[in-house]
Amino acid sequence: MFDKKKIPNLLTYSRIAVIPVFIAVFYWSHPLSHWIAAGLFAYASITDFLDGYYARAWGVVSNIGRFLDPIADKLLVATALLMLVSTGRVDVLPAVAIVCREILVSGLREFLAELRISVPVSQLAKFKTTAQLLAIGLLLIAPALPVWTYAQQVGDVLLWVAAILTLFTGYVYFKTGAYHLSAGDR
């Protein structure tokens, strides 16, 4: 019998497993490639929400889930942004801001975790993530849509909004962690 307690981690594993397929489809020269790539990205984005939701709702939060979930998220977003930048479909500046912040905040969280200090995710950071995922989804599908849909423009604006929120929330995280970062030097 299948154990539903495994579903959150299976969703996280599937998000990681979809990345190589996502990359292959992104660079595939086929009329449906944009649709499939956007669909894979949407699937991965939805599992990002569902794995945490089910883990908390069913009381099955696991160490492997807490470890892999943020890694899966960052791998997916960084991969999508790098591919979009490589094809000239996204400005490099917001993409670099987002990827650098994710790396820096991950490092800060890891350092603070060693000190047994938790840094909760803020509501603004959740809004940033939503804007970021919507932006990337729109930017992935934009080439397959008629020009009048303005998907590319809306995606660009949302990506810049996400980048600005990225810088702000990154600053807040570092301001919060600065005390602990310098505590050993006192």
| DSSP secondary structure letter of residue 28 | -
Q: Over range 136-150, report the average pLDDT.
A: 91
For residue 80, what pLDDT is reported?
97
Q: How far apart are CA 50 and CA 47, in angstroms?
A: 5
Q: Are 19 and 74 in contact (CB under 8 A)?
A: no
Q: What is the percentage of the chain residues whose pLDDT exceeds 90?
A: 59
From the number of C-beta atoms within 10 Å of its C-beta (0-12, 13-18, 19+), residue 136 rates as buried
Q: How far apart are CA 53 and CA 97, in angstroms?
A: 28
Q: How far apart are CA 169 and CA 124, in angstroms?
A: 7
- Which of 6-10, 18-22, 55-59 has the highest average model confidence (pLDDT)? 18-22
Pick the more confident residue, 24 or 49: 24
Averaged pLDDT score across all residues of the chain: 90
Q: Which residues contact 7 (CB under 8 A, 6 or more apart)?
A: 51, 54
| DSSP secondary structure letter of residue 115 | T
For residue 185, what pLDDT is reported?
56
Which helix (DSSP H) or strand (DSSP E) does residue 57 occupy? helix 33-57
Domain 4-183: homologous superfamily in CATH: CDP-alcohol phosphotransferase transmembrane (TM) domain (1.20.120.1760)
Q: Over range 115-127, report the average pLDDT.
A: 82
Q: Are 105 and 70 in contact (CB under 8 A)?
A: no
Q: Which residue has the tokens 């650098």?
A: 100
Q: Are 148 and 82 in contact (CB under 8 A)?
A: no
Q: Over range 125-139, report the average pLDDT.
A: 94
Q: How far apart are CA 17 and CA 21, in angstroms?
A: 8
For residue 144, what pLDDT is reported?
92
Q: Over range 110-139, report the average pLDDT.
A: 87
Q: Over range 72-99, report the average pLDDT.
A: 96
Asked if residue 113 has pLDDT above 70, the reply is: yes
Q: Over range 143-171, report the average pLDDT.
A: 93
Q: Over range 74-81, report the average pLDDT.
A: 96
Q: What is the percentage of the chain residues whose pLDDT exceeds 70?
A: 97
